[in-house]
Amino acid sequence: MDCFRIEGPTRLAGRVRINGSKNASLPLMAAALLTDDPLILRDVPDLRDIRNMASLLEELGCSTSREEDGSLHLHVTDPSQSHARYDIVKTMRASICALGPLLAKRGYARISMPGGCAIGDRPIDLHLRGMRALGAEIKLVGGDVVATAPRLVGTTIFLGGPFGSTVLGTANVLSAAVLAQGVTVIESAACEPEIVDLASALTAMGAKIQGAGTPRITVEGVESLSGADHRVMPDRIEAGTYMIAAAITRGDLELENCPYDSLLAVTDRLEVAGIDIALTDESSDRNRAVVRVRAEQRAKPIRLTTQPFPGYPTDLQAQMMALLTLADGNSVVTEKVFPERFLHVPELSRMGAQLFRQGATVVVPGVERLVGAPVMASDLRASASLVLAGMAAEGRTVVQRIYHLDRGYERMEERLCPLGAQIERVDDATLEG
């Protein structure tokens, strides 16, 4: 199994291009199931989760190919197989994205129920509530969700849950409602930019959608959708991770193709922490901008609470915590989206961080230095926080189980090393002692 061997401390400087968004790509790929025509997606990152979604689509009769220009071509050629089996779903919870499109287009979907994951229970009750409201009959058969509906019928659906709105739940209900009969209103819809991106691709396919990006989305169902050619939005979580990487290494990075306006909650916290962030060209597209991030001194302590968009994203909580372990004072981090998402806490502690957790809150009295140590990646974003900490720590850090990181960051070591990082990918069987 691969691990990262990181030598620190290092300082990052230079320019890096932000890839297309993984989280936007997954429901966009599933949208190929909604049409008989080809769907072309540009700037889809080459990641494990994306390859898993492509395998799932292949199983569901949708051919997938990556062209020389990097675009992904998706085309349904055999609509007879509508079963997403456990061995694929267990590798990727986002397989649930296929539910809405299959049901809407084929009238039938069978999807293995996703299990829990490292960051908590991750139920899908809101997805199912949405499908039921659209008239689907849902049963649980042998661990699979089996959903049937001769034709979905539009209605008003409240999608709020105990932790706020649901991103993939909103994507699923939206992707089903576009082919439903009549008007669907999704109340308490997720406002994340990835939903706006999905809505814009669906609109290009012929869907009639209003309000994407607000808590009320209105969809007027249409009889059929065509193909489209869509460029995926840049990955705001990758961009945020590299911003924090610049901050923790007291570096100077320019991020190209950076979704600046989708990261305001993040740049707000970084600026309060004393990090200098600037759009290099005010007149450019603010969501594909060049952004310079500079840190000259130790970060100042901050308070941070994760929230649904436009609040601070839970997917950047672990990385920011790595930065705060080295801040000059006491920070407080509260997780309101996934209250159990703190697997990085014991690992950062192994590197000398002071972290005191009470329920969904962690108090972080900053220390002057972290020291390299062997640590274990446990989920995607926690792994990123350990890599950031490793670049700032003194000595050698070995981050094991880097396959978690590869799910969401395209060859992170190859992107960071030209900027000054010293990271080597090695097979952990070859590590001495």
Binding residues for ligand UD1 (CB under 6 A): 23, 26, 94, 122-127, 161-163, 166-169, 314-315, 337-338
Q: Which is nearer to ligand UD1, 229 or 340 (CB)?
A: 340
Nearest CA to 263 among 232, 280, 288? 288
Three-state DSSP string of 17-53 = ECCECHHHHHHHHHHHHHECCCEEEECCCCCHHHHHH
CA 101 – CA 4 distance, rounded (Å): 38
| Peptide bond preceding 9 in cis form (omega within 30 of 0) | yes
Class of residue 142 by CB neighbours under 10 A (exposed 0-12, middle 13-18, buried 19+): exposed
Nearer to ligand UD1, 109 or 373 (CB): 109
Q: Which is nearer to ligand UD1, 166 or 184 (CB)?
A: 166
**Minimum separation from the CB atom of position 25 to ligand UD1 (A):** 9
| Number of Cβ atoms within 10 Å of the Cβ of 75 | 18
Smallest distance from ligand UD1 to CB 317, Å: 9
Q: 83 or 336: whose CB is closer to ligand UD1?
A: 336
CB of 155 to ligand UD1, least distance (A): 18
* Nearest to ligand UD1 of 95, 267 (CB atom): 95
Q: For ligand UD1, which is the closer residue by CB, 187 or 281?
A: 187
We find the least distance from the C-beta atom of residue 126 to ligand UD1, in angstroms, to be 3
User: Cβ of residue 122: shortest distance to ligand UD1, in angstroms?
Assistant: 5
Catalytic residue among 3, 62, 97, 117: 117
How many CA atoms lie within 13 Å of 188's alpha carbon, on the beta-carbon side?
Answer: 13
The percent of the chain in helix, strand and coil, each rounded to the nearest 5, is 35, 30, 35
CA distances from 166 to 118, 136, 172 (A): 18, 19, 10
* CA dist., res. 290 & res. 281, Å (int): 7
The H-assigned helical ranges of 6-151 are 22-30, 48-59, 86-89, 99-106, 125-133
Q: Are 225 and 179 spatial neighbours (Cβ–Cβ below 8 Å)?
A: yes
Q: CB–CB of 31/57 below 8 Å?
A: no
Phi and psi at 242, nearest 5°, equal -70, -30
- Return phi, psi of residue 26, to 5°: -65, -55
Task: Provide the sign of the torsion angle of the four alpha carbons 79, 84, 85, 90, taken in this order.
Answer: positive
Taking the complex as a whole, the smallest distance from the CB of residue 30 to ligand UD1 amounts, in Å, to 11
User: Judged by CB, which is closer to ligand UD1: 123, or 215?
Assistant: 123
Q: Is 3 a catalytic residue?
A: no
Rounded distance, CA 193 to CA 46, Å?
20
Active site residues: 117
